[in-house]
Amino acid sequence: MFKTLFFGALILFSLNTPAQTSKIDIPMKKGKVYYERSYRISDSSQQNELFKRAEKWFKQDFPNTQKIKISADKTTGEITGTGIFKIVTSNTGNYYFMRFAITIKVYNSGYTYTADKFYEKPIESGISNEYSKIEYRWWDYRQGKPWSKEDETLFKGIASNETALMASLEDEMNNR
């Protein structure tokens, strides 16, 4: 009798646990997707030189990525803009545009990169093709309740594209 109750409870408990999702590193700040990293430059580059390098980086082309510089203020050392990734999520032609704000704050011997305000736009038949905040979908995915089977590919795409974008900026900023 005890064994039957024990195994019955074990089965019920296992059915009640949320679905496992793979670990995807997308940083959050105050409930929002928020990438931020500060870098020190090994040489003694001054703010003016680093500012030029950051502006040059904004003009470069990257696969499936578009960057649009909105403003650049040399006195504050701040450059703001928008980035857009194209993330292919299936072999049937479905993809997403991921739009986000970029801020680069340059100072003597370093800079800070920030990406926030992430919005997704699905390009898929039967789904509204409007931009919407990614946090709702990310929250549900982390709770084991993905909106579609393509969510894992979408979130891995965000993480890998953002990591590659930060690495490309780091390369440009260290380019002497």
Domains and CATH numbers, the chain: 22-174 (3.30.530.80)
Q: Consecutive 10-residue runs of the chain (176 residues): their mean pLDDT?
A: 44 43 86 96 85 91 78 94 93 92 94 97 85 94 93 96 94 86
Give dist(CA 159, CA 145) in Å, integer.
Answer: 19
What residues are paired with 110 via a beta bridge?
A: 40, 107
What is the pLDDT at residue 93? 87
pTM of the complete model: 0.82
What is the pLDDT at residue 72? 93
What is the pLDDT at residue 129? 83
C-beta separation of 119 from 99 below 8 A: yes
What is the pLDDT at residue 120? 95
What is the pLDDT at residue 22? 62
What is the pLDDT at residue 67? 84
Give dist(CA 123, CA 131) in Å, integer.
Answer: 10
Nearest to 113 by CA among 157, 86, 79, 164: 79
What is the pLDDT at residue 164? 93
